[in-house]
Structure formats: C-alpha cells, structure tokens
Amino acid sequence: MLAVRNGEQLNDVLFGDAGIAAALKPGAVVILTSTVGVPAVTEVAERLREQQVELVDAPLSGGPLRAGEGDLLIVVGATETARGKAQPVLDLLASTLSVVGDKAGDGQALKTVNQLLCGVHIAAAAEALALAEALGLDQERTLEALQAGAAGSFMLANRGPRMLQAYDDDRAEVLSRLDIFVKDMGIVSKAARDYALPTPVASAAEQLYLLGQAAGLGAADDSAVIKAVAPYRSTRMPSSSA
C-alpha cells in the first residue's frame, strides 16, 4: 500500500534506484491511496502489468479529521481480481467504499472531480469569512450562522475555524498543506484542458492557492488560503454618505 505526494514519487518508489517493483511477485497487487492524476496511474499500471502485478487505484477522501474517526471515503478503480485481493485492506480503511470502475485510473478520475469541489469550497469559504470581517461582522458568529443555513458545507465547518486562526501562527495547526491543493488543482486544470472543458471557477480557486504558495504559505495549513484573499486583518470601511 502506497501513499505518495505525486506521480514522480510514485514512479520513484516503484521503479527508481531503490524501487520495490522488482521485488514484487507475479500476482501481487499494489494499492495506491494518493491523488496523482489519471495519466500517472495509467502509465504505472501498464508497467506493473508487464510484471503480472496489478494496481488498485484507491484514492482516499476525508482528510485527517475523518481519518481519525474511521470515516474515510475510498473510490476504487481496479479489475475484479485485484479488488478481491485488496478487499481486506480496503475494508479496514474505509467507512464508504465506492467502486467507480474496473481499471486503474478510474479512481483518480473521480478523485479529480472530488478535489475540484473541495478546492473551490475551501477558497469560497476563505473569501466569505474575509468579507465578513471586512463588513465588521464577528467571524465566529458568522461561521456559526452560515453553518445553520443553506451555505453550510463540510469544508466550511472543517476549515472555517482554522481560517479564523490563520493569522496567529502560534495557533495554526497544519492538517492539510496548502501546496497539496496547488498540486491537486493543477491535476484538475490539466484534466479540464485535456478534454477542452471550461472550469472557470476551479481555475480562479487554483490562482488563490498559487498566490498563497507564492506568499510563502505552501507548508502552512490550506486554511491559510484566506491570507491570499486578505493578507492582513481587515478594517471595516466607513459607509459612504449620500
């Protein structure tokens, strides 16, 4: 079972100088739990297939909070034979296991869609809370009110409280790095370009993560993207007189 950052690490751990692929026996399966994109996975799956080894494409979704509660979603793309071999491990990891296709790459495809939504939701939450402060609203009360209405979402509930701490480096806990969403939104953008599909909202969100990384926030929690929207705490602007 592998958890890597990107396609380059996946290739290195399998086929690099100290790669493990050469030690795998025919009939073995490799379970990949990371988000690396469809092209990287299909290429690796083909190379493993030459050794009679199958890749189970099983990216995780849910983040550290849901992982700690045993509440992860795993989306799986793999042959029926490979899934059968991997099933005991997958059952231990997932509260929800969704088979989305019968080949490696199908899991990455669905996870790409998932990350589009997650990335947009986090960026939108950052803009909303920054606007609330600029309007002179109490951010904690705003967050509580939003969660009770139609604007509520998992990402707002999960990242919102951390966004309120983002300006205090001593309190900010890193649960999901900002530069991971730079990588993931890059995967989303590439997939959209490959299929000539316009994704203007996702592209705008990607720019916020890139701005955050350029500002030195790549290793910070992804909730720090609020500082790409509002680098400093806002001061309410006086109302204009008629």
Partners of 99 in the β-ladder: 76
- Measured in residues, the chain has a length of 242
Token pair, residue 145, equals 């009110």
Catalytic residues: 111
Q: How far is residue 178's CA from residue 196's CA, in Å, rounded to a whole number? A: 27
- Give 1-58 as a DSSP string: -B--SSHHHHHHHHHSTT-SGGGPPTT-EEEE-S---HHHHHHHHHHHHTTT-EEEE-
The helix or strand, by DSSP H or E, that contains position 157, with its residue range, turns out to be: helix 154-164
The upper half-sphere exposure of residue 179, i.e. CA atoms within 13 Å in the direction of its Cβ, equals 10
Q: How far is residue 160's CA from residue 170's CA, in Å, rounded to a whole number? A: 17
Q: How far is residue 77's CA from residue 59's CA, in Å, rounded to a whole number? A: 9
